[in-house]
Amino acid sequence: MKEKIYFILSMIIFGAVGVFAKYIDMSSSEIAFFLSLIGALFLLVVFVWTKQKVSWRSVKKNATVLFMASITLSGNWIFLFQAYKETTIATAALSYYFAPVLVIILSPLILKEKLSLKKAICIGTALLGLFFILQNGRMEAAGNHLLGIGYGLVAAGFYAGLTLVNKFIRDLDGLASTLLQLGLSVVMLFPFVLFSEGLHFNAINSTAMMLMFVLGIVHGGIGFYFFFAGMKVLNGQSIAVLSYIDPLTSLLISVLVIGERMTLQQLIGAVLLLGSIWIGETRGRDQKGNDNPLIST
């Protein structure tokens, strides 16, 4: 139950990313680099402060998986931040969350998880909600809407990869796993940013700096710690259902904070998303008569 709460909190935190990323006057790769750097430094302080230790034998055993996870994490942030810059916060976030569909399709093949009829109906309902919201966004979006959706879908592919790859990490707790993945992302992103467009420290004003610290500590550090700590116990299809909390949070923030208008079509979509999450999280009974949560723990 604790892990489920961690994952839900991470989705709420991630849902607020667009508000910050959209208004930081830096390139998407620069934002991804500084987010990873600040998040990694913050978690390193926490790691040392709490006197935790990591088994280097476990790190070596998971080296390949951690490397792959860091690649998907870096790509996920770069394309998602670019999607936010091209279209509205709600539309970018919602197009990005076609990722759970990919997780559901791949989890029976990669994670050997059985796809239940109930879970399939929940995902279908959630997709219908996304369809309503995206149709509305297509009519109202500012900027290059189609390009923004394209970036969101590419980010979705990286997110699906990140979710699935992390299921193969063994003998590392959530904090150590998060710290290592963010640290490796810093190592990968630094030369990429440096040689592709350069780091423009002189262009960072006080507002951008404050927003970056919030992104790095809250979203990069705390958010990803909750994310990895929660997903280690949950199965892939359950993660997919709970992940819809993220775009719903983005939608609410875009209306209440940014002032984007919420139409009846968007409201219907939001209700469908909430309904699918509620149905997916209700408890049922197995054949032996014991209560089993839909989310396996």
- Within-domain flag for 223: yes
Give residue 59's pLDDT.
86
pLDDT in tens, 244-278: 787 778 878 877 777 766 667 767 877 776 677 66
How many domains, in total, are found in the chain?
Answer: 1
pLDDT in tens, 159-215: 888 878 887 888 887 778 888 999 999 999 998 888 877 666 666 677 778 888 888
pLDDT in tens, 208-238: 788 888 888 888 888 878 877 777 777 766 7
User: Which structural domain, as residue segments, surrounds residue 250?
Assistant: 2-282
Quick check: 284 pLDDT over 90?
Answer: no
- Within-domain flag for 294: no
- Within-domain flag for 290: no
- Within-domain flag for 291: no
Give residue 293's pLDDT.
30
3-state secondary structure the chain: CHHHHHHHHHHHHHHCHHHHHCCCCCCHHHHHHHHHHHHHHHHHHHHHHCCCCCCHHHHHHCHHHHHHHHHHHHHHHHHHHHHHHHCCHHHHHHHHCCHHHHHHHHHHHHCCCCCCHHHHHHHHHHHHHHHHHHHHHHHHCCCCHHHHHHHHHHHHHHHHHHHHHHCCCCCCCHHHHHHHHHHHHHHHHHHHHHHHCCCCHHHCCHHHHHHHHHHHHHHHHHHHHHHHHHHCCCCHHHHHHHCCHHHHHHHHHHHHHHCCCCCHHHHHHHHHHHHHHHHHHCCEECCCCCEECCCCC
- Within-domain flag for 296: no
- Within-domain flag for 293: no
Residue 291 or residue 97, greater confidence: 97
Give residue 288's pLDDT.
40
- Within-domain flag for 289: no
Quick check: 116 pLDDT over 50?
Answer: yes
